[in-house]
Copies of this chain bind each other. A is one copy, B any other.
Amino acid sequence: MTIDDVAKELNISKTTVSRAISGKGRISESTRSKVLAYIKEHNFKPSLIAKGLAEKRTYNIAVVWPADYDYVDLPFFQSCVMGMSKAAAEQDTDILICMVKGNDIGELDRIVENHKVDGVILTRTLINDAPADYLLSQNFPFVAIGSTEDKRTITVDNDHYEACRELTSILALRKVGRIALLGGNTNHIITRTRYRGYIDGLKNAGIEPDEDIVYFDVDSEPRMARILAELKKKEIGCAICMDDMICELFLTCTRKEGISIPKDMRVASFYDSRVLTNANPSITALHFEDRHLGQRAADMLLRLINGESVENEVLSDYEVILKESTK
């Protein structure tokens, strides 16, 4: 069934049917409701491909999936995509996956050149983000989850600065001793953002930050073991892990060393992932509503595609959840 069939059946022109469905152009209310009733009764869905050809749209948006095994925060990504999917579906739009390895643009150029999508969503942007640079150079609509250094980029993210500041100062006020920071990949913008929050959180609590107890690129067990030795020597009372993977490493190493938590040392983490939820003792962590984040990102991108004006957004969908590990 096509709009021609509908038109013939109702003795009107296909133009009128098209207008009734899209809501654009002049049409009488009576004709319009007649058409809508008919297509609803017959469960007619106009072809999005034909619509797309005429409008030069695909009704698809891509999400860039960072395809490095050891690097992606899968639960975060899943939640985000769930949110995007929900928001997009409301406008008949779907999510297409674009695998990208490292800081290469991978399949992105094929997807853009073939015009397979109307826009792109980037997650967890890097300092020099190749996909972002590419999309900017092509003047292709996109929204980045996580801030970027280019002012032209539309971004949305949770307030990681504020979240980390809050967590840090809460811990500081609890008198947990010296607070070390165990950070992730310094190429991630988010790593620096959280770092700033940590610094200011300490300052708010009247503590002078000490660069000697801040570590980045904590990505392996041997490295964590070495750091842990230093923490012991420096008589650190509490460690803030910048993500759940780092926290896992921390827990593994403390267990091996026979360090008891929270008796000997305390620990808090970003993200209360499944692994941490099951941990013993339970882990103090920041909980984020990543789903909502994805939803916002998709909403913003769709508005961008529709030519509406879009402002950067900073969300506060997080919560500090205090558990045993910082008691």
Q: Are A49 and B115 in contact (CB under 8 A)?
A: yes
Contacts of A274 in B (CB 8 A): 69-70
Contacts of A74 in B (CB 8 A): 74-75, 78
Within 8 A of B (CB), among A69-109: 69-70, 72, 74-75, 78, 81-82, 85-86, 89, 92, 94-99, 107
**Which residue of B49, B85, B86, B94 contacts A53 across the interface (Cβ within 8 Å)?**
B49
Q: Are B99 and A45 in contact (CB under 8 A)?
A: no
User: Who on chain B is nearest to A74 by CB?
Assistant: B74
Question: What is the bound-complex CA distance between A43 and B114, given in angstroms?
Answer: 11
Q: Are A97 and B95 in contact (CB under 8 A)?
A: yes
Can you tell how many copies of this chain the complex includes? 2
23 contacts between A and B (CB under 8 A): A43-B113, A48-B114, A48-B115, A49-B49, A49-B56, A49-B58, A49-B115, A50-B53, A53-B53, A63-B97, A65-B81, A67-B82, A69-B274, A72-B78, A74-B75, A85-B97, A85-B99, A89-B107, A92-B110, A92-B114, A97-B97, A252-B280, A255-B255
Give the B-binding residues of A (Cβ under 8 A). 43, 45, 47-50, 52-53, 56, 58-60, 63, 65, 67, 69-70, 72, 74-75, 78, 81-82, 85-86, 89, 92, 94-99, 107, 110-111, 113-116, 221, 248-249, 252, 255-256, 274-275, 278, 280
